[in-house]
Amino acid sequence: MTNPSFLVGCGTGAAMDEGNLGSDIKSVFYRVDSDRNGKIDIKELYTALKLANENHFNPETCQLLMGLFDVNKDGEIDISEFGAMVRYIRSWRSTYTLHVTNNNHVPGINSTQLYNTLQACGCGVDETMCKVLIKNFDSRNMQALGFDDYMRCCVTVQSLHKAFTHQQSLDGTLRLNLEGLVTMVVESRPRPVQNLTFD
C-alpha cells in the first residue's frame, strides 16, 4: 500500500537533479519551452502538464503548483523544478488511485475517503471538516472530488497544517488573534501569478 506520509514536507526546496529525470519529462519540458531559455512560464506549464498526461489542471491548480515549486522565485519553472513537480503530482495520483471509488457512477473522493487520506498524511481533520472541504473544493458539484480538486484540497490543508504546526504550543493548541489568523492563511497560499487566462 502506498504510504502518503512522505508527501508531508514536499514542495518548496524539492527541485530534482536533471540527471535523475526521465526522458519523457525532459521531452515534454523542452517541447513547450518555446524561447529555449530553459524555463517555462505558467501558460507553458499548463500545456506541459497536459502533455505529460498528468492532468488537465485548472488555472488555480497550476498557480498552486507554480507557487510550491518555483524554488528560486524567478516566476518560471526550470527543468529541475518541473521534474520535482511531476514527481509530486504522481505521488498524489497514487494516493488518489488508492482511495477513489465511483460515486453515483462518477470517479471521485468522498468525505470519508478524504478523511482517511488526510489522516494517513499526518495532517488529519475531523469528518465534519472533511465535508466542509468537499463542499468547497468540489468544482464538479458531485459531492466527491476529481483528481484536480482532490490535490488542490490536500495541498491547501497540508500548507495550513504546516503553518499551524509551526505556531502551535506544546499542548497542540493554537491561540490567534485576527492578525495572526490572516497572516497564517495568507502565508500558506501560493503567490499570485499574472495572466491566468489560458487558451
Among 33, 54, 138, 148, contact with Ca ion (rule: CB under 5 A): 33
Least CB distance from residue 33 to Ca ion, whole Å? 4
- Count of residues in contact with Ca ion, rule CB under 5 A: 7
Residue 9 backbone class (left: φ over 0; alpha: ψ -120 to 50; beta: rest): left
Least CB distance from residue 182 to Ca ion, whole Å? 27
Q: Longest C-alpha distance within the chain, in Å?
A: 53
SS3 assignment, position 123? coil
CA gap 64, 128 in Å, rounded: 25
CA gap 117, 92 in Å, rounded: 10
Among 19, 35, 175, 197, contact with Ca ion (rule: CB under 5 A): 35
Return the range that interacts with Ca ion (CB under 5 A); candidates 72-80, 90-98, 167-175, 185-193: 72-80
Give a three-class secondary structure readout of 140-154: CCCCCECHHHHHHHH
Q: Sketch the per residue contact string, 38 through 57, with Ca ion: x for CB under 5 A, - otherwise.
A: -x------------------
Rounded to an integer, what is the distance from CA 12 to the centroid of its chain? 11
Interface with Ca ion, residue 74, by CB under 5 A: yes
Using the structure block, give the residue that is written with the C-alpha cell 519540458. Answer: 29
Return the range that interacts with Ca ion (CB under 5 A); candidates 17-25, 45-53, 64-72, 142-150: 64-72
Among 1, 19, 23, 37, contact with Ca ion (rule: CB under 5 A): 37
Site residues for Ca ion per CB under 5 A? 33, 35, 37, 39, 70, 72, 74
